[in-house]
Amino acid sequence: MSHGGPGRLADRRWLLLAVGLLGSAVLFRTEVIDTVSVESDSMAPTICDGDRLVVSKLGAAEDLGRDDLVVFRSPVDGERAVKRVVAVAGQRVEIRDGVLFVDRERREEAYVDLATMDGAFFGPVVVDEGGVFLLGDHREVSIDSRDYGAVPRDRVEGTVLTTLWSSCTG
């Protein structure tokens, strides 16, 4: 009595291939690329509440630099958050009358509305070894490194590659 023939064997191979591809896709999505839904306006106008982001998890903590947008677990509530790297270990950060200075040099930040930051001062502080200093672009509402200090690089889960879709208006 036969339990299949060449056709049944081919069907099994296709099924195994399909399962393998699906498993690879799931592993790729969870270990290499991920998507994140944003539930805050702390990065507006760059990223808005309701946006969906594509995030790379490859080498997330190793190659962080100024202006990278990163996803990490907030030290405040453990929820995923998105912020901008403005300084790395050893750099001096301060805000004078709403303007960001890193290592005493003024940073031009077209995405920050300085009119809403008038009269805001912070620091100076030096970023801890192994840390990154993260700020939201919508500074007047953002809870960020000004509140909880530098974030250890190993808490960064990924860097934002692109916006899949945006709910920003205007």
Q: How far apart are CA 151 and CA 84, in angstroms?
A: 12
Active site residues: 42, 83
What residues does each domain of the chain span?
A: 1-31, 33-165
User: pTM, whole model, 2 decimals?
Assistant: 0.78
Of the listed ranges 9-18, 62-71, 84-93, the least confidently predicted one is 9-18
Q: What are phi and psi of 154, to 5 degrees?
A: -70, -5
CA distances from 170 to 76, 129, 167 (A): 31, 39, 10
Mean pLDDT of the chain: 83
Q: Which architecture characterizes domain 33-165 according to CATH?
A: Ribbon (2.10)
- For 49-59, how does the pLDDT look when each residue is reduced to its tens digit (9 = 90+)? 989 998 988 76
CA 4 distance to own-chain centroid:
51
Q: Which amino acid is at 107?
A: R
DSSP state of 50: T
- For 116-134, how does the pLDDT look when each residue is reduced to its tens digit (9 = 90+)? 877 889 999 999 999 999 9
Q: Which tokens go with 27?
A: 């592993």
Between strands 131-135 and 99-102, the pairing is: unpaired
Closest CA to 86 of 61, 68, 62: 68
Q: How far apart are CA 152 and CA 89, in angstroms?
A: 10
- Does an H or E element contain 164, and which? strand 156-165
